[in-house]
Every structure is written in C-alpha cells, then in structure tokens.
Amino acid sequence: LFDSGSNTDSITPEYAHATSLPRIKLEEQITLQLGCVGSRSKISYGTRAPIDFGGLKGHLYLDQVNLDRYDGIIGTPMMNRHGLVLDFGKREVRFPNGHVIKALSALEEASVLTQRLDRPPHPRTPVVAPPVAPSN
C-alpha cells in the first residue's frame, strides 16, 4: 500500500519472517499513533529489505508493525526520499525515471482484500514443505 498519510515505511513481522528478512531490535520503542483516538501501538523491531521496483534498487529500512489489511506500507519517508509521486487524478504512482504503477480499481482492491481475508491468518512460524525424496 502506498500511503501518503503514513509517516513510516512498514512491514508485518509475519511477512518479514516468511521472507527471511533480518530482525533488528530497536534500542528504544517508538510509539505508533494511528488515525483513531486511543489507537496506538509500539514499534520494537525493524528490518532492512532489498527493493527492486520502478527503477529503484537498494535496501529500505522498514518498521515491523502489526498491520491489519496489508503486508506492507510505503509511506512518506520512502516517497520523499526517492521522489515518488501519488497522482490521485490519474490513480497512479510515478517514479522519477518515468516508470508508472497504476492503482487498483475499487473492484480490484476489494477482490484482493477479500482473497486475503478469506485465507487463514499468517502463522507465526513459516510453513515448510515436506522434503522431496531424491529421484534416481
């Protein structure tokens, strides 16, 4: 999710674990204030993830946050640092090199979120496939 109202770039701990990203313990917890009265959380961990999209390559620091509907949020820190522009009129994300990502339509987003909500919650430990016997 590209979120112009988010002051953090974040990823869920489950997604970070499933993708084997390193877990970085913060020296001090950071309070995360959400958009509702009394809706707060603490950020205790972060990670560094490789990025390679829209012509951007490198590593991005992400706070590990328990997100409800998404695996990750690209907020204003990354958008400002890399010059990304959210064009609400054209419903797209523009990169400085001219690359464009079209936003999902309302129906497409609803379909993706429904599929996500219909699947079982992320396990705290990764699902490991059974070993495959070597063929002779």
How confident is the model at residue 119, as a pLDDT? 63
DSSP string, 62-125: EEE---SS-SEEB-HHHHHHHT-EEETTTTEEE-TTS-EEEPPPHHHHHHHHHHHHHSPPPPSS
- Residue 7 in this model has a pLDDT that exceeds 60: yes
Beta bridge partners of 58: 51
pLDDT band at 45 (very low <50, low <70, confident <90, very high): very high
Query: Can you tell me the distance from the alpha carbon of 117 to that of 22, in angstroms, rounded to the nearest whole number?
Result: 27
Element (H, E) at 32: strand 24-33
- Residue 127 in this model has a pLDDT that exceeds 90: no
pTM: 0.73
- Residue 129 in this model has a pLDDT that exceeds 50: no
How confident is the model at residue 109, as a pLDDT? 82
- Residue 31 in this model has a pLDDT that exceeds 80: yes
How confident is the model at residue 42, as a pLDDT? 84
pLDDT band at 92 (very low <50, low <70, confident <90, very high): very high
The full length of the chain comes to 136
How confident is the model at residue 67, as a pLDDT? 85
**Mean per-residue pLDDT of the chain:** 83
pLDDT band at 112 (very low <50, low <70, confident <90, very high): confident
Q: Report all structural domains of the chain as residue ranges with CATH numbers, in order of start.
A: 10-118 (2.40.70)
How confident is the model at residue 90, as a pLDDT? 94
Lowest mean pLDDT among 41-50, 80-89, 109-118, 121-130: 121-130
Assign 3-class secondary structure to 118-132.
HCCCCCCCCCCCCCC
